[in-house]
Amino acid sequence: MNKKYQSLEEKIVQKIKNHGPISVDEYMEICLSDRDFGYYINSKPIGKNNDFITSPEISQMFGELIGVWLIDLWFKIGKPKINIIELGPGNGLMMQDILRVSKNFNDFYSSIKIWLYEQSNILSKIQRKNINHPFKHFSSFNELPNGINFVVANEFFDAIPIKQYQFNNNKFRERVVSLDQQNNLTFESIEINPDYQSNLDREIASPRNDQLYEISSIQDTILEKIFSKIRFNGGLLIIDYAKTHGSSGDTLQALSKHKKVSIFHKPGESDLTSHVDFNRYSYISKKDNIKSYGPITQRDFLIGLGINQRYEILKENASDSQLDKLNRQYHRLIDKDKMGELFKVMYFSNNPKTVPVSIT
């Protein structure tokens, strides 16, 4: 660990003092991925006792239903060899559940290769412990395999850094991270160069005064690289916090121990996310000649895949204590006031046979 700094905040403050304000996406990237203090590099963020919990950690039903969908589409497309690629697999529990279902179909099980996109050494070790099947880690989207690829991204894109722009007096200014008079981290806005101003004018239709807009060229690039690998075969399934009505609004947030905190609270010790812009994803897919389906709510997606039927089967063999837990898991995944409507689902593919039945 770098002995020069005692904390990531100290490191960021010194960087701003030396070189001036930093963009929001650079701030996010430092907080999440700094080699010495980064959140994903040095912590185990996922789980009941950590900062956030994802659907696969809540219930086995989530991963099992993704597994059933993959098996079903594999039959529909003629039982070829396929790559199952998970982006940001966390503790590896979703892949563990997919594989458990897959073992009931020997031909399918022997036809799949597993690929995991992961940058955290800590989570990579946990995944090796939890996933009882050969798989390959990769940490660059240039390493996406050839072949028939089915990519699953659950709560992945929301952690990919964004830039923020404020529209006022008929022009955009970039929101950046700076220092106040006491050297505390704060926001300010700065002018942007005329060429980029013109670019934003083209990108954002009918901007409104005092509105904040969020754009991520990093997300765009990742999507384009995935689309290049699924154009003729395969598909991309995204489940995430999402906006479905354009890029306006400030959705940047920090989570620590399941509670929202300031994004400047102990940098590197809390998770930073924003809501992904599914309108933009649909625009990029159209530009890249990939068909998009959805978005729909996680509730509708899971009900369409058969969560109610799976829930009833699990109830039959559950003890009283297991039944209480199962009820809580089921309702947390699909209730409208919980994850059911907070999370949205989109699918991208040029093969209509692979589209989840709930999205068509």
Q: Per the structure block, which two tokens stand in for 39? A: 């959140």
From the number of C-beta atoms within 10 Å of its C-beta (0-12, 13-18, 19+), residue 207 rates as buried
- pLDDT for 228: 97
Terminal CA-to-CA distance of the chain, rounded, Å?
50
Nearest in space to 86 (alpha carbons), one of 71, 102, 98, 69: 98
Nearest in space to 92 (alpha carbons), one of 116, 113, 59, 69: 116
From the number of C-beta atoms within 10 Å of its C-beta (0-12, 13-18, 19+), residue 77 rates as middle
Q: Per the structure block, which two tokens stand in for 226? A: 């995935």
**Strand-pair category, 235-243 with 343-348:** antiparallel
Nearest in space to 185 (alpha carbons), one of 271, 264, 94, 269: 264
Q: Per the structure block, which two tokens stand in for 33? A: 């991925």
**Strand-pair category, 135-138 with 211-215:** unpaired
- pLDDT for 3: 54
Classified as helix, coil or strand, 129 is helix
The DSSP call for residue 144 is P
Taking the mean position of all CA atoms in its chain, how far away is CA 217? Answer: 15
Q: At what angle do helices 60-76 and 320-334 cross, to 10 degrees?
A: 60
Long-range contacts of range 13-19, CB-CB < 8 Å, 24 or more positions apart? 13/179, 13/183, 13/185, 16/177, 16/178, 16/179, 17/179, 17/183
- pLDDT for 248: 77
Distance from C-alpha of 63 to C-alpha of 46, rounded to nearest angstrom? 16
* Integer angstrom CA distances of residue 3 from 31, 120, 353: 18, 22, 55
SS (H, E, C) 62-123: HHHHHHHHHHHHHHHCCCCCEEEEEECCCCCHHHHHHHHHHCCCHHHHCCEEEEEECCCHHH
69 neighbors 305 (Cβ within 8 angstroms): yes
What are the mean pLDDT values of the chain's consecutive 10-residue runs (360 residues total)? 79 97 97 89 55 77 96 97 96 95 96 95 92 95 97 96 93 96 96 90 86 94 98 95 80 85 92 93 95 96 96 89 90 93 96 92
The DSSP call for residue 308 is H
- pLDDT for 45: 53
Q: Per the structure block, which two tokens stand in for 111? A: 């036809």
Q: Which helix (H) or strand (E) holds 256?
A: strand 253-256
Classified as helix, coil or strand, 220 is helix
348 neighbors 227 (Cβ within 8 angstroms): yes
Whole-prediction pTM value? 0.92
